[in-house]
Amino acid sequence: MTTFNLVVQSPALASDLIEQAAALSEASGVQRISTTAARLLAVDASPASRTELSAWGERVSVDTAYIPAGSRLTDCKVLAMDMDSTLINIECIDEIAAFGGVKEQVASITEAAMRGEIKDFSDSLTRRVAFLKGLSVDVLQAVYDQKLRLNPGAEQLISTAHQAGIKVLLVSGGFTFFTEKLKVRLSLDAAHANVLGHDNGLLTGKVNGTILDAQGKADTLSAFAQACGAQANQIIAIGDGANDLKMLGLAGYSVAYRAKPVVRAQANYALNIAGLDGVLNWFES
């Protein structure tokens, strides 16, 4: 029978919160990981207890994660991440659209697609990209320079993963202009995204080639994991929108980061409060 520990995290993880979690989970002991995280040992991991702890965590703004005792980061082989609103703080297409005065129209489609209300991602992307026709390609660099920021903990997560021998994949329904820059900046092992069409310095309003949709993201991760010799329980995958669900379904450590409800409901883990480096606290040294 697997023994589970419970990792609790919050920027303001006071002792009373740890004590509450320990009591609710019937923990046999407590290890302070840092000022923002603690590991509760040999907890009750029954469905009823998990449901109760999850509801408690939402009420008091604490992330909770049930992790098999003895899990180590070095046991994993692949870290796969979505880009927009996961690795980075923006939806790039929305910010590109802002330069053309059509952000509201594009963002409303983006939001519906990420919530899962628009089932056909390829159609939603085609509709959104059409709004960009005629914009200067220089807008892409402006978005990268002025708007794009890494989400909290991103660099720490990726650098630590690399130190543990993990291969890192960025797979995005966004655009190669941004993924290629991030690949170099963060020394990623691979990056895949869509190619935004342009001609004579202007965006064409079309995507070149096959659109990388939800199935495409899953297929990309599957091939990457196979090349790395990784089984499901050796894969960490992080995303926020409905377009990530098929990819997340391939990972033992499927993580919903600041995610839409449809993603949080299906992922094995969630980071609603902690930064991306919160993943690191799940593993024992």
pLDDT tens digits, one per residue of 223-249: 999 999 999 999 999 999 999 999 999
**Rounded Cα distance, 124 and 251, in Å:** 26
As a whole number of Å, the end-to-end CA separation of the chain is: 22
Domain boundaries, the chain: 1-70, 73-285
Question: Bridge partners of 254?
Answer: 237
Higher pLDDT, 149 or 113: 149
For 154-207, how does the pLDDT look when each residue is reduced to its tens digit (9 = 90+)? Answer: 999 999 999 999 999 999 999 999 999 999 999 999 999 999 999 999 999 999
The type of residue at 169 is: L
Q: Is position 138 annotated as part of the catalytic site?
A: no
pLDDT of residue 247: 98
> What is each CA distance from 259 to 109, 215, 227, 244, in whole angstroms?
17, 19, 28, 10
Q: Where are the beta strands (DSSP E) in the chain?
A: 4-9, 29-34, 37-41, 63-68, 78-81, 167-175, 190-199, 202-208, 235-239, 253-257, 269-271
CATH code, residues 73-285: 3.40.50.1000
| Active-site choice (84, 189, 240, 277) | 84
Q: Is position 16 annotated as part of the catalytic site?
A: no
- Under 8 Å between Cβ of 179 and 172: yes
| Active-site choice (82, 189, 213, 240) | 82
pTM of the shown model: 0.96
CATH 3.30.70.260 fits 1-70, yes or no: yes
Query: Is pLDDT of 115 > 90?
Result: no
DSSP 8-state class, residue 88: B
